[in-house]
Amino acid sequence: MLKRLFTDFRWGVLPVPGRVLAVIFFLFLFVFPLITDASYPLLIITLACIYAIFAVSWDVLSGYTGLINFGHALFFGIGAYGSALLYKYVGWPPQVTIVIGAIVAAGLGVLLCLPALRLRGPYLSLFTLGLPLLLREVVRAFPEVTGGYIGITGLPRLVGTTIGDYYAVLLVMLVSVLIMWKLTDARSRYVRTGLIFHAIREDEITARAAGINTIRYKMLAFAIGGFFAGIAGGLFGHVLTVVGFGVFAITMSFQVIIFVVFGGIVSIYGPVVGTFILYPLVELLQGTHIEEYRHLIMAGVVILVLLFMPEGLAVRIREKIERQCPRCKLTNVAWRRECRACTASLR
């Protein structure tokens, strides 16, 4: 068992620079509390982990299937409020309420996509843009239940200490991203959802002609995206110990899209990279003398990335350092002359 793991690592990870970078990155996240145990940097990384789950879930729903959802904050907000309300009125612990909140978000995702399945292109995007705003007004309209402007305060922490919360969120992030990565892997031999999502984005009519029930898979995409966004929302509420109706704001929906597009759409690692670069950057600028320019800088960065590398930063870097063998489709380091397995020329 251990030997097999070692061989996998030796031949599956070490020769592929992208995977080496990913492993180094996660090792760094695991030892980060040893470098500093000040609560502010830890909180930023914790929130970055939460936003990474949120961003990857948007990528699974919108990047892979092409159903561009402009109101992803809906699922995030339902997860946050669902878990907070369950704690407030039933008193269950956060581990239970977060999962239930996420299931509610997923169920609502399936329910809402029923009308959305009739819409295409921009109509779908704009329809979904309206939904979280509508829910925000509902939250404001029943202040006795939802706390109105103040929101729901006094939620319990996940573990109790800052470092405990950090590791809990980091683990949830790792597991969620791994699950979503496996579900959308087009070359997987075990699940075919990845291949089908790609087919729906490329050409839905052909996918239907090939005998795929596209409606069912679109609903599945909404359920997966909604579930993990709901998890992120629930974690968000319990890390900050307060849930306000700001979780339904337009900026919440757009921020996540900006993270994904910056890192690289239709790649699970792109959103993670985008979130871990942009979110700490924005937070670090806070309190410095250029604080008031930070949103300006962020908007400018997005415009420049879209103009000069529309495929995203992480995808661009990966293309630079990796090359696929034309014969056996194995990934190689870009500076090798011949493939490491079949010795086909890479030049």
Partner 1 sequence: MIVSIIIRTLTRGGVYALLASGMSLIFGVAHIVNLAHTAFFMVAAYGVWFLVRQQGWGVIQSIIVTVLAVTLLGVLVYRFLINRVRHHPQAVLLITIALAMLLQEVMLLRFGSHFQTLPVLIEGSHRIWGTVITNQHLLILGAVAVVMVLMWLLLSKTKLGIAIRATAQDGEIANLMGMSSARVLTITMAIGTALAAVAAVLLPRGYVFHPHIWMSPLTMVLAIVILGGLGSIKGSVVGAFILALAETIVVFRWPQHGYMSLAFALLTMIIILAVRPGGLFGTVFEEERL
Site membership for partner 1, residue 93 (CB under 8 A): no
Site membership for partner 1, residue 216 (CB under 8 A): no
CB of 119 to partner 1, least distance (A): 5
Site membership for partner 1, residue 60 (CB under 8 A): no
Nearer to partner 1, 43 or 298 (CB): 298
Cβ neighbour number for residue 263 with a 10 Å cutoff = 28
- Find the binder of partner 1 among 284, 296, 328, 334 (CB under 8 A): 296
The Cα 23–Cα 17 span in angstroms is 10
The Cα 291–Cα 18 span in angstroms is 33
Nearer to partner 1, 175 or 296 (CB): 296
CB of 111 to partner 1, least distance (A): 12
- Find the binder of partner 1 among 6, 28, 149, 293 (CB under 8 A): 293
Nearest alpha-carbon partner for 164 in 39, 9, 316, 1 = 39
Nearer to partner 1, 44 or 119 (CB): 119
Residue 333 forms beta bridges with which residues? 322
Size of interface with partner 1, in residues (CB under 8 A): 43
Do residues 16 and 322 touch, judged by C-beta distance below 8 A? yes
Window 164 to 193, contacts with partner 1 (CB under 8 A)? none
- Find the binder of partner 1 among 12, 156, 246, 300 (CB under 8 A): 300
Whole-Å CA distances, 135 to 9, 144, 229, 307? 47, 16, 16, 34
Nearest alpha-carbon partner for 198 in 58, 66, 330, 56 = 66
Using the contact rule CB under 8 A, the part of the chain among 22-30, 145-153, 238-246, 255-263 near partner 1 is 255-263
Site membership for partner 1, residue 246 (CB under 8 A): no
Q: CB burial class (10 A; 0-12, 13-18, 19+) of residue 188?
A: middle
Crossing angle of the two packed helices 294-308 and 250-263, in degrees rounded to 10: 40
Using the contact rule CB under 8 A, the part of the chain among 21-29, 93-101, 283-291, 300-308 near partner 1 is 300-308
For residue 167, what are its two tokens? 């590791």
Site membership for partner 1, residue 70 (CB under 8 A): yes
Site membership for partner 1, residue 299 (CB under 8 A): yes
Crossing angle of the two packed helices 39-58 and 162-183, in degrees rounded to 10: 20
Do residues 235 and 158 touch, judged by C-beta distance below 8 A? yes
Site membership for partner 1, residue 30 (CB under 8 A): no
The H or E element containing residue 153 is: strand 152-153
Window 116 to 155, contacts with partner 1 (CB under 8 A)? 118-123, 125-127, 129-131, 133-134, 137-138, 140-141
Site membership for partner 1, residue 257 (CB under 8 A): yes
The Cα 35–Cα 289 span in angstroms is 26
Longest Cα–Cα distance in the chain = 70
Site membership for partner 1, residue 204 (CB under 8 A): yes
- Find the binder of partner 1 among 212, 250, 277, 309 (CB under 8 A): 250
Place of tokens 């700490």: 280
- Find the binder of partner 1 among 5, 31, 35, 307 (CB under 8 A): 307
Site membership for partner 1, residue 344 (CB under 8 A): no
Nearer to partner 1, 228 or 245 (CB): 245
Do residues 278 and 268 touch, judged by C-beta distance below 8 A? no
Site membership for partner 1, residue 306 (CB under 8 A): yes
All residues at 6 or more sequence positions from 300 whose CB lies less than 8 Å from its CB, including other chains: none
CB of 125 to partner 1, least distance (A): 7
DSSP letter assigned to residue 156: P
* Contact residues: partner 1, CB under 8 A: 68, 70, 115, 118-123, 125-127, 129-131, 133-134, 137-138, 140-141, 204-205, 208, 214, 250, 254, 257-258, 261, 265, 292-293, 295-296, 298-300, 302-303, 306-307, 310
